[in-house]
């Protein structure tokens, strides 16, 4: 992944190593993360997105099978919106064993089907990436302090993801961890804009924040709150 990024004026910089993991397009297969992935996160890799133009004379049908999470429809619809794709109607299954199936009948803004193979591939790849990797949560050192970073992509309209700060602070509250300071900023990486929440954690808590076990547990709890698991 391209680790080059640009912070908006007035925003604190992020170290290259942290930025590389935070803004990576997908989870690395090398398992060289600052925090290990929980079994729930590895299940996300089973997402499947297929395009079928034979089921409807006037619509392209997107068939998706993926792990259900909070904001799933938001992630799908913001991605389609950014690609100038509109949904005519849809079929969405109930959750079964943590997974959900969706059939979306879509058209381009001009009312035509998506027949260009390259456009189909880009749309499917982007949808799959957003379902695999909707939010980024890591803990890193910031000088002598411990910092929790949460990143999410910004819509082309400039809007950030709803309720992120609420969910993050609620998860930390349930863990008994206080926030020393918080900063919310916009960063550009890999040709897209990101909203990044940077929270310095108070060391006076029940967790030894410098240990890998504690950091993995904090990241897992925060991510579960964000994903609704």
Is the model's pLDDT at 31 over the cut of 50?
no
Q: What is the mean pLDDT of residues 177-196?
A: 88
Q: Which long-range contacts (CB under 8 A, 24 or more apart) does 49-58 make?
A: 49/124, 49/127, 49/128, 49/131, 50/124, 51/114, 51/120, 51/123, 51/124, 53/113, 53/114, 53/115, 56/105, 58/107, 58/111, 58/113
pLDDT at 212 (0 to 100): 83
pTM summary value: 0.81
pLDDT at 132 (0 to 100): 78
Q: Which residues pair with 136 in a beta bridge?
A: 151
pLDDT at 211 (0 to 100): 81
Query: How many residues are recorded in the chain?
Result: 229
- pLDDT greater at residue 45 or residue 214: 214
pLDDT at 38 (0 to 100): 58
- pLDDT greater at residue 29 or residue 118: 118
Residue 82 burial by Cβ neighbours in a 10 Å radius (0-12, 13-18, 19+): middle
Report the C-alpha gap between 152 and 175 in whole angstroms.
22
Query: Residues 6 or more apart from 155 whose CB is under 8 A from it?
Result: 78, 81, 82
Report the C-alpha gap between 161 and 101 in whole angstroms.
23
Q: What is the mean pLDDT of residues 158-172?
A: 91
Domains of the chain: 5-25+135-227 (3.30.70), 43-132 (3.30.70.260)
Is the model's pLDDT at 35 over the cut of 60?
no
Q: What is the pLDDT of residues 96-143, one digit of tens each?
A: 988 999 999 999 989 899 999 999 999 998 898 888 778 889 998 888
């Amino acid at each position: 992944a391209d680790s080059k990024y640009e912070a908006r004026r007035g925003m604190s910089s992020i170290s290259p190593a942290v930025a590389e993991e935070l803004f990576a397009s997908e989870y690395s297969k090398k398992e060289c993360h600052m925090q290990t992935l929980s079994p729930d996160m590895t299940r996300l890799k089973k997402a499947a997105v297929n395009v079928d133009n034979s089921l409807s004379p006037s619509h392209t049908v997107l068939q998706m099978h993926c792990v259900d999470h909070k904001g799933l429809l938001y992630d799908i619809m913001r991605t389609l919106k950014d690609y100038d794709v509109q949904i005519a109607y849809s079929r969405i299954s109930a959750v079964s064993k943590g997974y959900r199936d969706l059939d979306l009948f879509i058209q381009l803004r001009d009312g035509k089907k998506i027949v260009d193979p390259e456009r189909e591939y880009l749309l499917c790849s982007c949808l799959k990436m957003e379902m695999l990797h909707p939010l980024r949560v890591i803990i890193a050192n910031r000088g002598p302090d411990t910092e929790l970073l949460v990143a999410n992509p910004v819509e082309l309209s400039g809007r950030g993801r709803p309720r992120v700060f609420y969910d993050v602070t609620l998860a930390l509250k349930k863990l008994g961890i206080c926030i020393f300071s918080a900063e919310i900023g916009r960063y550009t990486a890999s040709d897209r804009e990101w909203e990044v929440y940077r929270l310095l954690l108070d060391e006076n808590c029940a967790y030894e924040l410098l240990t890998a076990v504690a950091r993995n547990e904090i990241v897992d709890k925060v991510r579960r709150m964000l994903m609704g698991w």
